[in-house]
Amino acid sequence: MKKHNFSAGPCILPKEVLIKAADAVMNFNNDNLSLIEISHRSKPFVEVMEKAQILVKELLDVPEGYSVLFLQGGASLEFLMVPYNLMRDGGKAAYTNTGTWAKKAIAEAKKFGDTIVVGNSADKNYNYIPKGYKIPEDADYFHCTSNNTIYGTQMKEFPYCPTLMVCDMSSDIFSRKIEISHFDLIYAGAQKNMGPAGTTLVIVKDEILGKTGRNIPTMLDYTTHIKKESMFNTPPVFAVYVSMLTLQWLKALGGVEQIEKMNQEKSDLLYNEIDRNPLFTGTAKKEDRSNMNVCFLLTDENKKDAFDKLWNETGIRGIKGHRSVGGYRASIYNSMPIESIQVLIDVMQKLEE
């Protein structure tokens, strides 16, 4: 039976990428050595890192003056690195609180200085994106989270920012076109649209660094990794390689512009069924619904066992909602084929019948 993987992350990857990655683990570059046992300083892997960085710049149209890094520690380490590198001693930062991960980022920033929350959707269990807030001009930076995997909300537009603009794009990077020049720092864990867990993409404007007056630990200083081209310490070789393969797959597909159209088609298909079918209801405000994470509930909990049996029998996996929301969550990242979404819709309609 074919499996339909709706997991929120680590998530589905293109089959051709998995095949190439598996081959490389056994025999990389026809050298009869595994990818994961070669030196990260060797020419073959240095070329992998360079190709991955070039693909990021090409697919996102990254302007001159920005560095592309592949780091470790996940987005959770970036919660710490951002204030370390951008908040001045005695300074302050502005954040929006749109869910679990934003809340964790705020908690880390508070350890460094005055951290104000300018937009907060906690009052409705994060089912909408705050709007109309004002970002103080004297803040060292403003931080937002573009897509919220747990609550199924997504920023469709970004606010005017009078200071440095920082964004956690872990769950929707490469899913839609963005204007990189509007941001000063973007970070994203790889395990949604880019590759397996283990590496974190950072795109940072070089000129914003080194201005805090802080004594930053070497490993947590972005300039350290820029100077060493993401190889200050042993990089996550496998995660970077699979990310490179995934970006090559995306480029061959037509790039970000093409995948954005496909993602819109997929999310429209599923949301239309949720809105049409009386047995289901969405959890996020319609104008803020995520194209990556579709969260929904049964309108009659008595049908839960029947629905769970149906989707399990069809090979669907990973659609149980997060415990803070309940219900169901279908994560439909770049690699999710529209055929799998149709399978889920067929199950929803079968329950209705």
Enzyme catalytic residues: 101, 168, 192
Torsions phi, psi for 303 (to 5 deg): -95, 5
328: β partners = 296, 320
DSSP letter assigned to residue 144:
E
Cis amide leading into 130 (omega within 30): no
SS3 66: strand
Q: What tokens were used for 66?
A: 């920005």
* β-strands 92-97, 147-148 pairing: unpaired
Q: What tokens were used for 345?
A: 């819709």
Q: How crowded is residue 212: how many other Cβ atoms within 10 Å of its Cβ?
A: 19
Sign of CA dihedral 75, 77, 82, 85: negative
Q: Which of 195, 338, 194, 198 is nearest to 264 (CA)?
A: 338
| Residue given tokens 């194209």 in the structure block | 291
Cis amide leading into 63 (omega within 30): no
CA distance 44 to 28: 9
Q: Check if the beta carbon of residue 344 is closer than 8 Å to that of residue 270.
A: yes
* β-strands 185-189, 164-168 pairing: parallel
SS3 17: helix
SS (H, E, C) 162-214: CCEEEEECCCCCCCCCCCHHHCCEEEEECCCCCCCCCCEEEEEEHHHCCCCCC
- The CA-to-CA distance between both ends of the chain, in Å, stands at 24
CA distance 160 to 34: 48
